[in-house]
Structure 1
C-alpha cells in the first residue's frame, strides 16, 4: 500500500514539474528567439502553440522504467503495460528504442540514478539522447555532471532532463548513460525511468 501511494505521489509531482518546466521552456524560447546569433533547436515553434491546443489531442502517455543496459543503451520495461491497448507497444523488440506511434509534440522526462562507489578519481556522468529520424540520427547531450566520491560508502547521484520535441510517427528515441555499469535499477518506487506524454497534435 505504501509503495502504491508513493508511486502515485511520484507521478503527481512529476506531472507538476513537467508543466512548470514547459512554461519555463516556452518563456525561454520566446526570449532566446529575440537574441541575435542564438541557435534555435527545431523542437517546437512557439508561434503554433495556440493552434495546437485547438484540436483534440490523443492521450498517448508512457511510463517506462529501466531494467538493464546493453552497449550503454538503457533497456526499458513498460510500467503501465496493463493500461495499454492489446498489442500496442512503444518499444522495439530489443526494448532499447522507443518508437513513436503518432505525430505530435511530446513532453519527455528522463531520470537516471547512479550508485557511485568510493574511488580517488572524479566520476563523469553523462546522459545522451539519440533521435532517429529514419534518414539520420541526432545525438543530444541531455545532462552531465562530475561527482567526487568521498568516504567509504557508496553515494547516490542523479541526472535528469526534460525535453519538449516534435516527433513524427516511426521516429525513434534511445537513451545512453555513462558509466552504464553504475546505473541503479532498484525501484524507489522508480530510480531510473522515462515519462513520455503527448502534449499536442501537429
Structure 2
C-alpha cells in the first residue's frame, strides 16, 4: 500500500513539475513583487531560462496539501513527510508559513479550490480571494493575489478555483503564507489534490 501511494505521488509530482517547467519556458514576462527580496522580469530570454535548467536538479522541491485554515491562512501537510527527515521540513510549527531553506530561483504554483453552496431558489454572489504573503527581513507584504466573483444558484457548478503562478528569487529564511477567503468554502478533499502548493528550486541565481 505504501509503495503504491509513493508511486502515485511520484507520478503526480512529475506531471506537475513538467507542467510548471513548460509554462515557465513559454513565459515572456512574469509579474513580480516590488519588494527588495524579489525581482520583476520583463521579456526573459529563452537562453536565460535554458541556462537555469542546465544546473543539477535541486533537492528543494515540495508538494504541500492544504488540510485546514486558521485566521484565513491555509494550514499545510507535506505530502512526502514520511519520506523526509524532520529536519528537512520547510513548515513552521503552525504549518501556516513556508520557510525557504536555500536561496535561489523558485517556481511556485498555488491552487485553491472552493465548494460553492447555492441558496435554494435564489441567486447570490460570493467573492473568492487568494493572497500570497511574503515575509522578509521582518517585513510582510502581499506578493501576489487572485480574485473572482461567482454567481451562485442551482445551475452553478459546485466547484470554483483560484490559482497563481510565480517565478521568484528568494533568500534563505524568506517565508510564504497563503490566505484564502471565504476560508469556510475551501475544499480540502483530495482529488488527488484540491488545494495545494508546489515549490521547485530551478536555479541558484537568474
Number of residue pairs aligned between Structure 1 and Structure 2: 193
Provide closer, same or farther for how the CA distance between residues 187 and 142 of structure 1 changes in structure 2, counting only shifts above 3 A. same
Query: Could you tell me how far apart the structure 2 residues matched to 1:90 and 1:159 are?
Result: 24
C-alpha distance in structure 1 between counterparts of 2:54 and 2:156, whole Å:
53
Taking the aligned partners of 2:89 and 2:6, their CA distance within structure 1 comes to 24
- Are residues 1:187 and 2:190 paired? yes
Give the SS at the match of 2:152.
coil
Residue of structure 2 in register with 1:113 after alignment: 113
List runs of 5+ in structure 2 lacking aligned partners.
none
| Cα drift, residue 111 of structure 1 | 0.8
Give the match for residue 21 of structure 1. 23
Judge which range, 47-56 or 163-172, deviates more: 47-56
Q: In structure 2, which of residues 21, 39, 42 is the aligned counterpart of residue 42 of structure 1? A: 39
Does residue 100 (structure 1) correspond to residue 100 (structure 2)? The answer is yes
Deviation (angstroms), 1:97: 0.2
1:133 partnered with 2:136: yes
Seen in structure 2, the aligned counterparts of structure 1 residues 95 and 139 have a Cα distance that, compared at 3 Å, is: same
Counterpart Cα distance in 2 of 1:126 and 1:100: 24
Shift of 1:157: 0.7
TM-score by length of 1: 0.82
1:35 corresponding residue in structure 2: none
Please give the secondary structure, in 1, of the residue aligned with 2:189: coil
Aligned counterparts of 2:71 and 2:197: Cα–Cα separation in 1: 18
Q: Distance in 2 between matches of 1:81 and 1:126?
A: 28
Greater mean deviation of Cα atoms: 190-199 or 51-60: 51-60
Distance 1:199 1:145 in 2: 30
Paired residue for 1:168? Answer: 171
What is the CA deviation profile of residues 117-152 of structure 1, one whole-angstrom value per residue up to 9, with x for unaligned ones?
003321111110000012321203432111111217
